Structure 1
Amino acid sequence: MIRHSLAGALLSLALLAMPALAQQGPTPEHLKAAREVVVSSGLSQSFDSIYAEFSAGVRQSFGTTRPELKKDMDEVLTALKAEADLRREEIVDSSARIFASKMTEADLKDVAAFFNSPVGQRYNSYRPQVIDEIFALLQPWSTATSNRLFDLFQAEMRKRGHQL
């Protein structure tokens, strides 16, 4: 009886301690390694386009229809760059936290080492082109694959006596 009570108490204590351990979160070193992956992998570069696209959209929308606003518009957009940079840092930090929650610090350091290596840098230099080419293939491949699978599905259902 005492043994069961002691085991139950230890189990309860362990279960109570688990949320406290989970709440501690990653160490600063773990987050630093995760942030290095976000930056060295090129993921953070995808966040850079948001301000550029925003300012280009504003210039296109208002610059062509209201050319008298150009000077003030350029000044305001320049001033907003600091806010955009702050927001960019927020998403980089959030991305690092996600990586840190999924991967160990050691693994993150290995991944960062790869992306900082010559082969990792070459990978990053080709990645945008490769992704563009993959997306160009994706739509027709997706349609052809779906059509093929539907044809196979329909044929199999006919074999089982079902007319679709």
Structure 2
Amino acid sequence: MTYLLNIVAAAGLVMGLALAGAPAHAQQPAAKQAAPAPAPALKPASPAALAAAKEILTMKNANAMYASAVPNVVEQTKNALLQSNLNYQKDLNEVAVIVAKNLAGKEQEIGDGMAKIYANEFTEQELKDLLAFYKSPLGQKLLATEPRAIQFSMSYMNQWAQVFAQTVNEQFRAEMKKRGKEI
């Protein structure tokens, strides 16, 4: 379950960065833009550990999480700029294509960062063991079925949350009714 939560958290972080970070940043005047938060300090990793981490991430198709990060950030930034510059819509649309082309491939920095994080969290031997596992029949089955299991898990959690929200709502109403306040 922890593994699932880590994947969901990582996917949420990447999507949050790709979809939410740029507009807020783009809307701030240049003089008031805050410096990005410093990355957490990671211990140095051996080339072998990084290579194993990258191979694991490739096997897990992690790049699918961040493949569209550059176009998404470009689009979000363009949309944020359009809000206060409607008369430049044609130009901003044209510039978005140029910016996306100029920055294509930058999303690989996310993959490199993820590999460093894996190499920080696991020893070189653990990464090699994980790699061996993912190459085993059970590891291959996990790689093949995990995305669907995660999708079903997310669907289940959403359904549960909807039902639970009704329970919470009913309890709020009951407690407020005890106070003589109908809501």
**TM bucket, shorter chain:** 0.5 to 0.7
1:112 equivalenced with 2:144 (yes/no):
no
**Residues 26 and 55 of structure 1: is their aligned pair in 2 closer, same or farther, counting only changes over 3 Å?**
closer
Question: Residues 106, 74 of structure 1: CA spacing in aligned structure 2 closer, same or farther, 3 A cutoff?
Answer: farther
Deviation (angstroms), 1:134 = 0.8
Larger relative helix fraction: 1
Give the aligned CA root-mean-square deviation in angstroms.
4.1
The alpha-carbon distance between structure 1 residues 57 and 26, as it changes in their structure 2 partners (threshold 3 A), is closer
Name the structure, 1 or 2, with higher relative contact order (CA <8 Å, separation 6+): 1
Structure 1 residue 116 displacement after superposition: 3.4
1:111-130 equivalent positions in 2, closer than 5 A: 111-130=130-149
Which of structures 1 and 2 has the bigger CA Rg? 1
The answer for the alignment partner of 1:137 in structure 2 is 156
Structure 1 unaligned spans of 5+? 1-21, 63-68, 152-164
Question: 82, 86, 104: which one pairs with 1:84?
Answer: 104
Identical counterparts, % of pairs:
25
Give the equivalent residue in structure 2 for 1:96.
Answer: 115
Structure 1 pair 23–38 and aligned structure 2 pair: CA distance change class (3 A): closer
Q: Residues 58-105 of structure 1, C-alpha deviation per residue, up to 9 Å, x if partnerless?
A: 9xxx9xxxxxx6xxx68964872562312x221111111111111111
In structure 2, runs of 5+ residues without a counterpart are 1-40, 83-89, 172-183
Pair 40,80 (structure 1): closer, same or farther in 2 beyond 3 Å: same
- For 1:66, the equivalent position in structure 2 comes to none
TM-superposed CA distance for 1:24, in Å, is 7.0
Corresponding pairs, count:
123
| Contact 2:134 2:140 (8 Å CA) reproduced | yes
